[in-house]
Amino acid sequence: MSRSCLLEHPSSDLASRGHLLPQGEKEEPPPSRPLMLYSPTSKATPMSVELRNSPTNKFSSVAGSLLMAAIFGFYALKGLVNGADGGRVFFVALLALGFLGFGGYLARGAFDTSVKVVLDENGFRDRRRGDVLVPWDKVQSVRLSSPGKGSGVVSFELNEAPPDALANALFGGNTVRMEINSLDMSGPDIVAEIERLAPHVVVGR
């Protein structure tokens, strides 16, 4: 066998090391290196934030509505048994039915897991109010209704009149108000995401 053939053979790598193994012994394979997997998105900051209904907030509202319905229902029944004025009994019973219906409406929303609000690099979109995209370059400032976790409204001040679907017939002006009590993210966290996505927007304190 020629020297060139020996060097081309996979096992001929011994010749390049300057020694040969004793007969009967096999060369141990080099230790294997662990395979490192890297996900480019593992630490990447998401450029889109999707907000959904908060089951905790919804269920607490449902419980409150059902409690009020039970209280008014009890007094309506008590008034009926005691022969109270029919008009008052009817009014109390109507209140009980109203709270019961409102509780049922809230309970349906508690199981709704669809996306309600989207914040991304393009702007914000409230799918509960027309599903209209408002670009960040139209937003001048943003402000919470009150500091803390219990903030119920985020107000966006625009540099022009808002789309018809977001216009406020009561207050008017260029302000768009977003209800957030029912969402699964607190007001300060929502404002922090807005600051990240649109650094030019002024945050009112």
For 121-204, CATH gives: 2.30.29
pLDDT tens-digit map of 76-125: 888 888 888 878 888 989 998 998 888 777 777 667 778 999 999 999 99
Q: What is the structure's pLDDT at 137?
A: 94
Sequence ranges of the domains in the chain: 49-110, 121-204
Q: Which pLDDT band holds residue 22 (cuts at 50, 70, 90)?
A: low
pLDDT tens-digit map of 177-192: 888 888 888 889 999 9
Q: Provide, rounded to the nearest whole percent, the portion of the chain with pLDDT above 70.
A: 67
pTM: 0.56
Q: What's the rounded Cα separation, in Å, for the pair 62 and 53? A: 13
Mean predicted confidence (pLDDT) in 12-28: 50
Q: Which pLDDT band holds residue 12 (cuts at 50, 70, 90)?
A: very low
189/2: higher pLDDT: 189
